[in-house]
């Protein structure tokens, strides 16, 4: 019994029974070492270990300030939708995501989660992954869990080719001590034991003209990584495995490949209260924030989106530590206000008085921005550069070419991302959030005194030039439904441009 209990994944089907009989090994048995020599279950252990390590923290703007996921994760509203996008009610817990409730297409294998920017799609996947890594994801007997960010698939060259095996082992987790290839054979034999998460389908910016998506049915066949992804989602590869795909609201994904659909709606008032309590350990701050939220329906509305709520709370915490009388903005709070507040916090963090010293009493955001103008200009330039080439990941060279120094990287706008070339090279960066990149790109356009009107308004022109069809649907008719071929286009992801336009409109109004 102890061996069945210890070598968990090898006897995964017996685990519910062990739980039912409430098996607890006595102490004298616990002392007996059990050496697992099975490559498959050793691989499962490795996967759980790596996923546990990678999902521990919520990425924060300052690496020194990382927060444990468990300390801040708060449930959000998860609305179940049918194939016509009509509501079927709300899910009660994460476990129900993979369950049968709300399945409208039993042949399909992909659960689609949609939601607006910052509503918490990535964090929800992170929570799912964390639960699995800790064996706390109820009602699933999955032994393998592979997580991917869709933007990874855009980093490959047109000529790059990989197989399913490479995708799993080279770009996710390598099976050690598996000379006989037992792990992969097992995965192929029992695809139902596999869960994939693919985050941010809207972020795919391929440069391939894939008017017709060829079928890839052999797991050994090497082909372009995007084709491997599409064939996985369609169930042509590793048929039977479960897939959870996230995308921004409005991204078209053909119902044919969707098993069930969930829309994230952010924090309800009760969730917001829970989040406030988790965020502020100090009762005085808690009460103050609650009162200010109650007083401003505008602010309250913005705070239903977790990302904006996090920015508002972080800013409040910081500015309150510097100025005695700081209050959250009350009327007509816009997203631009929120990002201005965040930028102010970034540039004023060095100015916080040491504990014990008197707080300042005059807050002058204009002075803070003036003092931070050089790095702000450099960050904005980088954001615009990325926006123009449709890119979210920057290498050292690009960062330096915009005039950013090592010290600037500590300010908080950028965070490091590991490279996807399996070399473990950490020298690439991305903005804390795509909406922040849009904000800074708009900032760059208004900061540039040489910019012509045409130049400033170029994103408006781009957005109106393009039609409404999803860029993905043009490229992948099997997913998106349209069959228009596409060539190279630096302005691929319309939504980020629309965000930039939103911020630009606000800046121009202020001029």
Ligand X SMILES: Nc1ncnc2c1ncn2[C@@H]1O[C@H](COP(=O)(O)OP(=O)(O)OP(=O)(O)O)[C@@H](O)[C@H]1O
Place of tokens 């009107």: 453
Q: By CB under 6 A, which span of 114-122, 159-167, 337-345, 469-477 interacts with ligand X? A: 114-122
> According to CB under 6 A, which residues from 204 to 223 bind ligand X?
none
Residue 248 contacts ligand X per CB under 6 A:
yes
Of 49 and 53, which CB lies nearer to ligand X in the complex structure? 53
Q: CB of 379 within 8 A of CB of 394?
A: no
Number of residues that bind ligand X (CB under 6 A): 21
Q: Which of 41, 55, 76, 438 binds ligand X (CB under 6 A)?
A: 76
Q: What is the Cα–Cα distance from 372 to 413, expressed in whole angstroms?
A: 13
Instruction: Classify residue 354 by burial, with Cβ atoms within 10 Å: 0-12, 13-18, 19+.
Output: exposed
Q: Which of 39, 102, 120, 375 binds ligand X (CB under 6 A)?
A: 120
Residue 384 contacts ligand X per CB under 6 A:
no
Residue 140 contacts ligand X per CB under 6 A:
no
> According to CB under 6 A, which residues from 154 to 193 bind ligand X?
none
Q: Which of 41, 122, 140, 163 binds ligand X (CB under 6 A)?
A: 122
| Range list of β-strands (E), 6-66 | 57-58
Residue 121 contacts ligand X per CB under 6 A:
yes
Of 163 and 304, which CB lies nearer to ligand X in the complex structure? 304
Q: What is the Cα–Cα distance from 289 to 312, expressed in whole angstroms?
A: 10
CA angle 111, 171, 384 (to 5 degrees): 80
> According to CB under 6 A, which residues from 286 to 325 bind ligand X?
306-307, 310
Q: Which of 98, 123, 229, 378 binds ligand X (CB under 6 A)?
A: 123
Residue 251 contacts ligand X per CB under 6 A:
no
Q: By CB under 6 A, which span of 81-89, 113-121, 330-338, 402-410 interacts with ligand X? A: 113-121
Q: Which of 39, 102, 175, 200 binds ligand X (CB under 6 A)?
A: 200
Q: What is the Cα–Cα distance from 201 to 191, expressed in whole angstroms?
A: 22
- Round to the nearest angstrom and report the end-to-end CA distance of the chain: 74
Of 41 and 76, which CB lies nearer to ligand X in the complex structure? 76
Q: CB of 151 within 8 A of CB of 203?
A: yes
Considering the complex, what minimum distance in angstroms separates the CB of residue 203 from ligand X?
A: 7
Of 165 and 496, which CB lies nearer to ligand X in the complex structure? 496
Q: Which of 58, 244, 253, 262 binds ligand X (CB under 6 A)?
A: 58
Instruction: Classify residue 266 by burial, with Cβ atoms within 10 Å: 0-12, 13-18, 19+.
Output: buried
Of 200 and 390, which CB lies nearer to ligand X in the complex structure? 200
> According to CB under 6 A, which residues from 428 to 467 bind ligand X?
433-434
Positive or negative torsion for Cα 50, 53, 59, 61 = negative
CA neighbor of 416 nearest in space, from 439, 396, 386, 437: 396
Of 200 and 372, which CB lies nearer to ligand X in the complex structure? 200
Positive or negative torsion for Cα 113, 118, 119, 121 = positive
Q: Which of 44, 47, 117, 257 binds ligand X (CB under 6 A)?
A: 117
Q: Which of 39, 42, 48, 74 binds ligand X (CB under 6 A)?
A: 74
Residue 380 contacts ligand X per CB under 6 A:
no
Of 1 and 62, which CB lies nearer to ligand X in the complex structure? 62
Residue 72 contacts ligand X per CB under 6 A:
yes
Q: CB count, 10 Å around CB of 501?
A: 18
Residue 391 contacts ligand X per CB under 6 A:
no
Considering the complex, what minimum distance in angstroms separates the CB of residue 32 from ligand X?
A: 41
Q: What is the Cα–Cα distance from 498 to 250, expressed in whole angstroms?
A: 13
Q: Which of 51, 81, 111, 119 binds ligand X (CB under 6 A)?
A: 119
Q: CB of 326 within 8 A of CB of 344?
A: no
Q: CB count, 10 Å around CB of 284?
A: 9
* Residue 9 in tokens: 């994944």
| Range list of β-strands (E), 369-465 | 393-395, 414-417, 428-431
- Helix (H) or strand (E) holding 195, with range, is strand 194-199
Which residues of the shown chain bind ligand X in the complex (CB under 6 A)? Answer: 58-59, 72-74, 76, 115, 117-123, 200, 248, 306-307, 310, 433-434
């Amino acid at each position: 019994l102890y061996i069945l209990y210890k070598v968990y994944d090898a006897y995964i089907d017996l685990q519910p029974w062990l739980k039912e009989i409430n098996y607890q090994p006595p102490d004298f048995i616990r002392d007996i070492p059990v050496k697992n020599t099975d490559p498959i279950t050793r691989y499962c252990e490795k996967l759980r270990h790596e996923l546990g390590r990678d999902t521990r923290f919520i990425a924060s703007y300052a690496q020194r300030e990382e927060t444990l996921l468990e300390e801040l994760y708060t449930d959000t509203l998860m609305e179940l939708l049918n194939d016509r996008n009509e509501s079927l009610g709300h899910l009660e817990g994460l476990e129900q995501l993979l369950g049968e409730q709300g399945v409208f297409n039993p042949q399909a294998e992909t659960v689609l989660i949609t939601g607006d920017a910052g509503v918490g799609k990535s964090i929800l996947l992170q929570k799912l992954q964390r639960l699995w890594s800790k064996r706390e994801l109820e009602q699933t007997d999955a032994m393998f869990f592979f997580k991917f960010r869709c933007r990874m698939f855009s980093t490959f060259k047109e000529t790059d080719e990989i197989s399913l095996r490479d995708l799993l082992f080279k770009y996710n987790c390598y099976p050690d001590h598996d000379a006989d290839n037992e792990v992969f054979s097992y995965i192929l034999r029992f695809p139902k034991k596999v869960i994939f998460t693919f985050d941010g389908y809207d972020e795919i910016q391929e440069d391939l003209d894939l008017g017709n998506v060829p079928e890839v049915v052999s797991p050994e066949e090497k082909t372009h990584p995007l084709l491997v992804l599409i064939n996985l989602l369609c169930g042509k590869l590793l048929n039977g495995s479960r897939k959870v795909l996230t995308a921004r609201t409005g991204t078209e994904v053909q119902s044919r490949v969707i098993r069930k659909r969930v829309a994230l709606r952010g924090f309800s008032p009760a969730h917001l209260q829970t989040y406030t309590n988790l965020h502020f350990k100090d009762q005085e701050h808690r009460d103050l924030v609650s009162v200010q939220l109650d007083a401003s329906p505008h602010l309250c509305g913005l705070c239903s989106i977790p990302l904006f709520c996090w920015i508002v709370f972080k800013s409040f915490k910081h500015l309150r530590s510097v100025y005695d009388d700081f209050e959250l903005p009350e009327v007509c709070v816009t997203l631009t206000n929120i990002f201005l507040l965040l930028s102010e916090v970034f540039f004023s963090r060095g100015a916080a008085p040491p504990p014990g010293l008197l707080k300042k009493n005059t807050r002058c955001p204009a002075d803070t921005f003036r003092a931070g103008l050089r790095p702000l200009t450099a960050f904005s330039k980088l954001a615009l550069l990325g926006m123009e080439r449709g890119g979210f990941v920057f290498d050292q060279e690009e960062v330096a070419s915009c005039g950013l120094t090592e010290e600037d990287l500590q300010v908080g706008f950028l965070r490091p991302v590991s490279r996807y070339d399996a070399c473990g090279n950490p020298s690439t960066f991305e903005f804390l959030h795509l909406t922040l990149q849009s904000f800074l790109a708009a900032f760059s356009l208004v900061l540039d005194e040489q910019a012509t009107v045409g130049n400033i308004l170029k994103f408006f022109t781009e957005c109106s030039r393009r039609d409404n069809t999803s860029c993905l649907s043009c490229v992948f008719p099997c997913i998106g439904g349209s069959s228009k071929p596409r060539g190279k286009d630096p302005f691929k992801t319309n939504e980020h441009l629309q965000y930039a336009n939103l911020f630009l409109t606000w800046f121009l109004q202020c001029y």
